[in-house]
Copies of this chain bind each other. A is one copy, B any other.
Amino acid sequence: MTFKPRLELLIATHNAGKVRELQQTLRELPLTLRYLAEFPDISTVEETGNTYEANAILKALSYAEQTGICALGDDSGLEVDALGGKPGVLSARFGGENASDQNRTEKLLRVLLPHRKGEITARFICCIAFAGWQSSSTEPRTTKPRILNVSTGTCEGAIALEPRGTKGFGYDPIFIPSGYNETFGELSEDVKGSLSHRAKALSATRGFLTQFLRAT
């Protein structure tokens, strides 16, 4: 077997919770993970896309191009059926640009008050895009990176009456995945890691990366 250098992979998110989930899922692959914090002068990418896919692609491509390192970009959101799928792709900006996770969950619960007749069904969606260079021998890093994989994961569930639990981040304390009574704020990392939208998208991404590392 010939020597293969470890692939450098930039985790293109500032969210510590996401970074941890990515580290967990990718820990057995021959990767050297890099982080945005290592690049203080990097330009932040505005999430101007209309879909999770578009935002994940925007981030992965821009960060890979700025750093010359393969990058994973992600976007996710919560779709509440009673709100016609909102906040959806705007989940992270729901309640204003500078709102905290707590502000956002409280605002969502307020908006949902008139809909409290039965179960308020919802789903989390996560999209992860990989931008990079397929063959380092023929495509030097002076070429633009290309999106080589995009994986989407979904997790069906319902909105809790009030926030419960302190684990996770974002809307986790008010989201009860189907088949459970606890919220993502209460469920263990192991359980969340087996059924969450991000876990599913990450698992597919790991499948892609495993094959990618073998082929290149």
Contacts and interface: CB of A to CB of B under 8 A. Distances in A.
Interface of A: 53, 134-135, 137-139, 146-154, 156, 178, 194-195, 199-200, 203-204, 206-212, 214-215
Name which of A53, A146, A211 has the most chain B CB atoms within 10 A of its CB.
Answer: A211
24 contacts: A134-B154, A135-B154, A135-B156, A135-B178, A137-B178, A138-B178, A146-B152, A146-B154, A147-B152, A148-B151, A148-B152, A148-B204, A149-B150, A149-B151, A149-B152, A149-B204, A149-B208, A194-B215, A200-B215, A203-B211, A203-B214, A203-B215, A204-B211, A207-B208
A156 B139 contact: yes
Contacts of A204: 148-149, 207-208, 211-212
A149 B149 CA distance: 7
Copies of this chain, tallied across the complex: 2
B138 A156 contact: yes
Contacts of A200: 134, 211, 215
A128 to B, nearest CB: 10
Contacts of A135: 154, 156, 178
